Chain A
Amino acid sequence: MLLDLFYILVFPGFLFLSAFALWAEYFDRLVYARLQNRVGPPWFQPTADFIKLVAKADLVPTAANPTFFRLAPIIALTAVCTAFIYIPLWSTSSLFSFNGDIIVILYLLTIPTLCFFIGGWYSTSLYCRIGAVRTVTQLFAYEIPLFMGLLAPALLANSWSITEIMQFYIDHPWFWAFNLIGLIVSLIALHGKLEKAPFDIPEAETEIVAGGFTEYSGRLLAFLRMTLDIEMIVGASLLAAIFLPFGLQSGPVVGFLVYLVKVLLIVFLFSIARTIFARMRIDQMIAFCWQYVVPLAMVQLLINLILKGIIIR
Chain B
Amino acid sequence: MSGPEDFKIPLGPQHPALKEPESFSIALKGEKILGVDIRLGYNHRGIEKACESKSYLQAVYLIERICGICSHTHSTCFVQGVEELAGLQVPKRATYIRMIIGELERVHSHLLWLGVAGHEIGFDTLLMYSWRDREVVMDILAMVTGNRVNYGINAIGGVRRDISQEQIKDILAALKTLRERTLYYIEIASKETTIIERLSGVGILLPADAIKLNAVGPTARASGVDIDIRRDDPYAAYSEVEFKVITDNHNDVYGRTVVRMKELLESYNIIEQALAKLPEGPIAVRAPRKVPAGEVLSRYEAPRGEDLHYIKANGTEFPERVKVRAPTLANVQAVKKMLEDRYLADLPIVVAAIDPCFSCTDRLIEVKDLDQGETKILDWQKLQQLSIKYNQQRGLDFTAAGKRLQRLMEK
Contacts and interface: CB of A to CB of B under 8 A. Distances in A.
Real binding pair: yes
Interface of A: 35-38, 126-127, 129-130, 133, 197-198, 200-201, 204-209, 275-284
Contacts of A198: 122, 194
Interface residues on B, range: 20 to 34
Given A130-B344, A281-B346, A284-B197, A209 B121 contact: no
B132 A37 contact: yes
Q: Is the interface of A mostly helix, strand, loop or mixed?
A: helix
Interface in B28-48: 28, 30-31
B9 A278 contact: no
Interface stretch (B123-131, B211-219, B357-365, B387-395): B123-131
B7 A278 contact: no
27 contacts: A36-B129, A37-B129, A126-B8, A130-B28, A133-B4, A133-B30, A197-B122, A205-B16, A205-B17, A206-B16, A206-B17, A206-B119, A207-B344, A207-B345, A207-B347, A209-B16, A277-B123, A277-B194, A278-B118, A278-B192, A278-B198, A279-B194, A279-B198, A281-B343, A281-B346, A282-B343, A282-B345
B348 interface: yes
A272 to B, nearest CB: 10
B112 to A, nearest CB: 16
Interface in B107-145: 118-126, 128-129, 132
B49 interface: no
Contacts of B124: 36, 197
A207 B348 contact: yes
A219 to B, nearest CB: 23
B172 interface: no
A239 B358 CA distance: 49
Contacts of B346: 281
B378 to A, nearest CB: 33
A153 to B, nearest CB: 30
Contact of B345 (A36, A204, A277): A204
A267 B317 CA distance: 67
B119 A280 contact: no
A133 B120 CA distance: 21
B9 A130 contact: yes
Nearest to A126: B9
A278 B132 contact: no
Contacts of A209: 15-16
B329 interface: no
Nearest to A134: B31
Contact of B121 (A208, A275, A278): A278
B343 A283 contact: yes
B260 to A, nearest CB: 17
A120 to B, nearest CB: 12
A37 B31 CA distance: 35
B31 A279 contact: no
Nearest to B11: A207
A36 B131 CA distance: 11
A282 B15 CA distance: 21
B287 interface: no
Contacts of B347: 207
Contact of A206 (B30, B129, B348): B348
